[in-house]
Amino acid sequence: MKPIEVLVIAERGTRVCASCANGRTWEEVTSSLERQLRRNFGRAVSCRFVDLAEAQHLGIAGLSSGDGSKPRMPLVAINGRVLFRGFFSPTFIRREVKMRLDAKEARRSQADAIFHSGEWKSQAGLFPSPA
């Protein structure tokens, strides 16, 4: 199963708190988030920091602000789609990852149930065989 990918996008070297001279950078905060996500979800999730200039070449949906101005930082993308702009909450990110993992597990369980029940055999009869 492909891991859920979390990207924290900002300009490299910028501080989380612009007025804090010795505050943590977005790279450091992302590293901390990565540890939290690994602790909670193991290898089912990956997390990394991406510089805004690099992100523009990754084809991430919702990256631009729409009016040509620089987007509000940070951006948080999950599986290639920006979900949070100018807002960073490890709790919300964990919640989103958990929802996605639960949905994957539900789909897998449903597929397993259909396979093991033999229901797939009756569904296969819905498609006429070539004459």
Q: Is the whole model's pTM more than 0.75, yes or no?
A: yes
Instruction: Pull the structure tokens for residue 93.
Output: 């990110």
For residue 80, what are the CA distances in angstroms to 16, 48, 126, 127?
23, 12, 36, 35
pLDDT at 9: 96
Q: Which tens digit of pLDDT belongs to each residue from 84-118?
A: 999 999 999 999 999 999 987 777 666 666 666 66
- Walk me through the domains of the chain, giving residue ranges and CATH numbers: 4-120 (3.40.30.30)
CA–CA gap between residue 96 and residue 119 (Å, rounded): 32
pLDDT at 104: 78
Q: Residue 62: phi, psi to the nearest 5?
A: 85, 15
CA–CA gap between residue 27 and residue 42 (Å, rounded): 20
Q: Which tens digit of pLDDT belongs to each residue from 30-89?
A: 999 999 999 999 999 999 999 998 988 888 878 876 777 778 899 999 999 999 999 999
Q: Which tens digit of pLDDT belongs to each residue from 6-36?
A: 999 999 998 898 777 778 999 999 999 999 9
pLDDT at 110: 67
Beta strands of the chain (E only): which ranges? 4-10, 45-51, 75-78, 81-85
